[in-house]
Structure 1
Amino acid sequence: MSDGLITETAEALGGMTARRPRMLSPLREHLRDTIWFAPTAGLVGAMLLWWVSAELDTQIVSALRDDGDQDAIKDLMGIADDAKAVISTIGSAMMTFIGVVFSISLVAVQMASGQFSPRVVRLYVRSRITKITLTVFMATFLFSLMTLTSFDSEEDPRLLTSVPLIESVLAMLMVLLSLLLFVAYVNGTVRMMRIGFVIDRIARESFRVAVKQPTELPVDTARLGPETAQVTHQGRAGVLRDVNIARAVRAARRQGVVLRLIPRIGDFVVPGTPVFTVHGGAAPARRSLAYTVSVGVERTFHQDLGFGLRQLSDIALRALSPAVNDPTTAVQALDRIVQFLASIVPYPLGALGHRDRRGALRLVQSVPDWTALVDLGFAEIRGCAVGNPQVTRRMLAGLDDLLSLAPEERREPLLRHRELLVQTVERSVPEAADRVFALLPDRQGIG
């Protein structure tokens, strides 16, 4: 277990107050889950860069013509002839590079989906180095094509209007940047094809979600008062990805009510089912709650506290399947499950409160409680761990570590899983010596 990362995460969680969520945070996260946005922005940026550099090249030629320096213009024309051949080569080569990047990405995604879990594909979609590399490659390709259009076929220096000198220099610099990014991209993709780095990435994403959770609990949801109205879901059916908390808090403040989110992040919702209950008055106008609830086809990390544990559990279950039979990978997943649970053991879970600027409670959001998270992390792995002493030993060591950290009121689910694991091993392993060996706690499994 990484003590440094646990301490860092615990300090971040402990020192946090109930912060006001940023309005654009859901939009930013949704854009990070796409591939098209960054390359599109890069193409627009390449067009703007070409326009600015073309204007500068035109002004340079115009200034030299005004000064009557025909020799300098002829020198520029000679340089432009050499640069044109280089730019033509760049334009054709960049399409090959783009194809290579796309092919590597597809192979990496296919391997990750087949070997680890289909849910880890999202890590590759969100990969910054992949998006930056593809963006720069496409921008370089477009910039090279636009630069070729700037070369003037006029041979008379007195009639020449522009020599794409700055454009050619920028195109070559973009090629150099593309080559450096390609090296970084290959290195990053190879790392992401290794299970250790995938598990570490999932754990870090999970910690970011935990850090963003407000640490303030409503005293009791019963104190919200009687339910006065409900707000139903009118969009498409799908998984509740996230809620625009700032928009919901603002709508509740304007109406003078408290909203309680009924489904948890990650639940599947269908049209017509209630998503908010209203306490203290009439429901806010439908327009004020527009785009508050985001529904998609799969869960995301953005506000889903249990999604990281779900992925780690899936990786461990696949590793323990008879077709794979890789208990070491399951132990690596258990390392991170224990690490995540250890980092959040002292902090409130359940129904979280969000307040407005004046400190009034406006939104109550349900998140998994401690028991639900412990069950998510251990229940399914425990059922498949029998016959793999490496896994049972690591799970016992992890449960013992969590028992030493957990307060009294949170020890029950840990003790329950420990007892069930012991009972399962004693019932399934016939040899007494093997039972003793399988039930000996070991942080390395078999270390």
Structure 2
Amino acid sequence: MLPSLLRKIHEFSRRLVVRVLLIALLAVLAVLLSKLLGRGLPEGLEGRVGAEAVDRLLSIIANSMLAVTTFSLTVMAAAHRNVSTLWTPRAHQILLEDTTTHTVLATFVGAYLFALLAIILKEMDIFEGPGLVVLFAMTLLVILLIVAAIIRWISHLEMLGSLIGTAQKIEDKTREAWKIRSEFPCLGASPLEATRIPEGATGIRAPQTGYLQEIYQDLLQEAAKKADGRIWITVPVGGFIYQGQVFAHCEGDLGEGVLENIRIGSLRDFVQDPHFGLTCLSEIAVRGLSPGVNDPGTAVDMLRRITRILLDGACARHDGPLHDRLFLPPLDVDALVNRPLWPVLMDGAGRPEMVGPVDETLTALESHDHDGIAEAARALRRKARDLKAD
């Protein structure tokens, strides 16, 4: 239960608005804390810091942070547009989870709110005497945080929206998903093909149309235990579901328990779906091979990234399921190889610069310790030979 709860909290925290609101709340607390700490300071410190010095610092922060935030939002929006236009629209989703950008923007907004609130309270004579000393110290701390955020932002902008940076993020996300699915092809559940759904099982209909983005398998197992039942989900993670479609079955009163512990959305997700990340890399490669772009170097780079991800997986080494009351479709390993590589092989057929990399990729995958990947690579080589013969 705890892993899924942590995943839900992690997913919630990766939204821009959440980080902005959280740091804005910290800014308000910092101003209030300055007032409270000022009451505990000994008398005689008020002469150490002048009110004019605090005013100037707060005014600089308030004026500059509004401009910096606006500029940063413009840069972020431009980077998102470039990624969608130049590489693949699906890669835009990876930037929506860019925590560095979120944290930097939230820091700028929080600093602006801190300065604005401090100016208002100071004009109301809330801060006076020792309180000004604490407010001055807190303002210096905020300035240090702003400087650190600016340095971090400058470093991050070097790769934001670039092909190398975007492809690396997709590769990292896909590698994490593939490592999980290679070790747990059914996410720790029993394979759906190894059992039969009982005739009396209750069908569960999708409440909305979209992709099955994620399954919280330990929460589903816990719900099935409480109801003394079992759950069969017939649609794989990443599959498209239509509203009203029966996508799962259950024994016992588990309908709400199933719907609460899955995530359906309008976009696919990288977390449990390595197919999605590999498809994104394949789309970038195909775009590089298009006549309008004519950049086979990008295609070769994406091909090798796909190979690197697939070689990084391991065969499942678990004797039994971790969640014995949950049944899921196993990962389609054949599609994992064919869907990203076949479009590249088709578009790269007849291009001399693609012959060597394609052969190296298939040779490496044919020696994979995962039998399914090795066999899929051999079948793909046969298809490539037939394509050349035609």
TM-score normalised by structure 2 residue count:
0.89
The one-letter code sitting in structure 2 at the alignment partner of 1:412 is E
- Compared with structure 1, are the counterparts of its residues 218 and 31 closer, same or farther at alpha carbon in structure 2 (3 Å cutoff)? closer
Superposed, 1:78-93 pairs within 5 Å as: 79-93=50-64
Correspondence list, 1:335-374, <5 A: 335-344=304-313, 346-347=315-316, 353-355=321-323, 361-374=324-337
| Residue type at the aligned position of 1:341 | L
- Flag the 1:367–1:310 CA change in 2: closer, same or farther, 3 A: farther
Between 159-168 and 418-427, report the one with greater CA deviation: 159-168
Contact 1:147 1:164 in 2 (8 A): no
Q: CA deviation at 1:227?
A: 4.2
The yes-or-no answer on 1:195 pairing with 2:176 is no
Where does residue 132 of structure 1 map in the other structure? 103
Residue 315 in structure 1 maps to residue 313 in structure 2: no
Measured against aligned partners, the alpha-carbon deviations of 1:101-150 in whole angstroms (never above 9, x if no partner) come to 10110111111111111111122211121011011111111111121123
Q: Structure 1 residues 298 and 223, CA, compared in 2 at 3 Å: closer, same or farther?
A: closer
User: In 1, distance between residues paired with 2:101 and 2:55?
Assistant: 30
Match for residue 375 of structure 1 among 338, 342, 346: 338
Indicate the residue corresponding to 1:237 in structure 2: 209
Q: Deviations over 1:410-431 (max 9, x none)?
A: 533212211222333354xxxx
Counterpart in 2 of 1:425? Answer: 388
Alpha-carbon shift at residue 34 of structure 1 (Å): 2.3
Is the Cα–Cα contact under 8 Å of residues 258 and 362 in structure 1 kept in the other structure? yes
Match of 2:234 in 1: 262
CA RMSD across the alignment: 2.6
- Residue number in structure 2 paired with 1:149: 120
Identify the match of residue 299 of structure 1 among 251, 258, 268.
Answer: 268
Greater Cα radius of gyration, structure 1 or 2: 1
- 1:291-338 deviation line (CA, Å, top 9, x unaligned): 222111100112212111111111111111111111111111111111
**1:5-404 to 2 correspondence within 5 Å?**
22-60=3-41, 63-64=42-43, 69=44, 72-73=45-46, 75-76=47-48, 79-151=50-122, 163-213=131-181, 215=184, 218=190, 221-223=193-195, 226-278=198-250, 282-344=251-313, 346-347=315-316, 353-355=321-323, 361-404=324-367
Q: CA deviation at 1:233?
A: 2.5
For the 8 Å contact 1:353–1:365, the answer to whether it is kept is no
1:241 partner SS: strand
Report the Cα distance in structure 2 between the residues aligned to 1:348 and 1:378, rounded to whole angstroms: 27
> Residue type of the partner of 2:5?
L
- Checking the alignment, whether the CA contact within 8 Å between 1:151 and 1:163 is kept in structure 2 is no
- Over the matched positions of the two proteins, sequence identity in percent amounts to 19
TM-fit CA distance, 1:38: 0.6
Q: Quick one: structure 1 residues 253 and 153, their matched pair in 2 at CA, closer, same or farther if it must change by over 3 Å? A: closer
1:354/1:362 contact within 8 Å kept: no
**Residue pair 2:65, 2:109 contacting (<8 A) in 1 also:** yes
- C-alpha spacing 1:57/1:96, structure 2 compared with 1 (3 Å): same
The code of the aligned residue for 1:137 comes to: F
Question: 1:32 offset after TM fit, Å?
Answer: 4.7
- 1:92 partner letter: N
Distance in 2 of aligned mates of 1:310 and 1:224: 31
Q: Measure the CA separation in 1 of the matches of 2:273 and 2:6.
A: 14
One-letter amino acid matched to 2:133: L
8 Å CA contact retained: 2:368, 2:374: no
Q: Is 2:372 the counterpart of 1:413?
A: no
Partner SS, residue 164 of structure 1 = helix
* SS of equivalent residue, structure 1 residue 306: helix
Unaligned runs of at least 5 residues, structure 1: 1-19, 356-360, 428-447
Closer, same or farther: CA 33–89 of 1 in aligned 2, 3 Å: closer
| Residues 289 and 225 of structure 1: CA distance in aligned 2, closer, same or farther (over 3 Å) | closer
Change (3 A) 1:114 1:292: same
Cα 1:259–1:24, aligned 2, differ >3 Å: closer, same or farther? same
How far does residue 47 in structure 1 lie from its aligned partner after superposition? 1.0
Query: Is contact 2:20–2:106 with CA below 8 Å preserved after alignment?
Result: yes
Aligned residues of 1:23 and 1:247 also touching (Cα < 8 A): yes
Determine if contact 1:87/1:168 at 8 Å carries over to the other structure: no
- C-alpha displacement of 1:21: 6.4
Change (3 A) 1:345 1:415: farther
Deviation at 1:42, TM superposition (A): 0.7
